[in-house]
Structure 1
Amino acid sequence: MKFSSRITAFGVTPAVIFIVALLSSIGALMNAQREFHRYTQTEQAVEQSLAEMYAQGLQMGQAMRNILLDPQNPKAFDNLKTAEKDYNAAFARAQTSAQGSELEAALSKLPALRAAQKLAQDKVLGLVAANTDAKEVINKEETPAWRELKAELLKQGKAATQVSQATYARVSSTISMAVAVSIGLAVLAALVTLVLSLRMMSTLRKELGGDPAAARAALQAIAQGDLDTRIDNQGGSESLMGVMAQMDASLKKLVTEVRDSASSIATASSEIAQGDADLSARTESQAAALEQTSASMEQLSDTVKQNANNAAQANQLALNASAVAVQGGEVVAQVVDTMRGINEASRKISDIISVIDGIAFQTN
Structure 2
Amino acid sequence: MAAPVVSGWYAASQLEPLAGPAGAVAGLPVGVRQQVENKAELGRILRAAGVPRRMVIPGRTYAERLPSLPRLRADIGAQRLVVQSAHDAGGRGTVFVDGPSDVARAATLAGPWRVSAFVDGWSSNVSVLSVPDGRGGVLVYVDRPSRKAIGVGDVGIGPAKSAGNDWSGAPFPARGVADVIEAATRLGEWAWHTHRMTGLWGIDLIWSADGPVINEINARKQGTTEVSGVNHQLAGVPPLAVAHLVVMLGHRPTWLPTPDAFNGCSLAGGSVGPYYLKIRARSAVTTRPDFPGSGVYRLVGDRLVWERPGAHPADADSDAGWVLIANAPAPGTACESGAELATAEGLTAGPASPFSGPSDLSDHGRAVLAAFDRWFSIDRKES
User: Structure 2 length normalisation: TM-score?
Assistant: 0.16
The structure having more radius of gyration, on CA atoms, is 1
Higher strand share: 2
**Per chain length, whose mean CA-contact separation is higher, i.e. which structure has more relative contact order (CA < 8 Å, sep 6+)?**
1
Higher helix share: 1
User: Structure 1 length normalisation: TM-score?
Assistant: 0.17
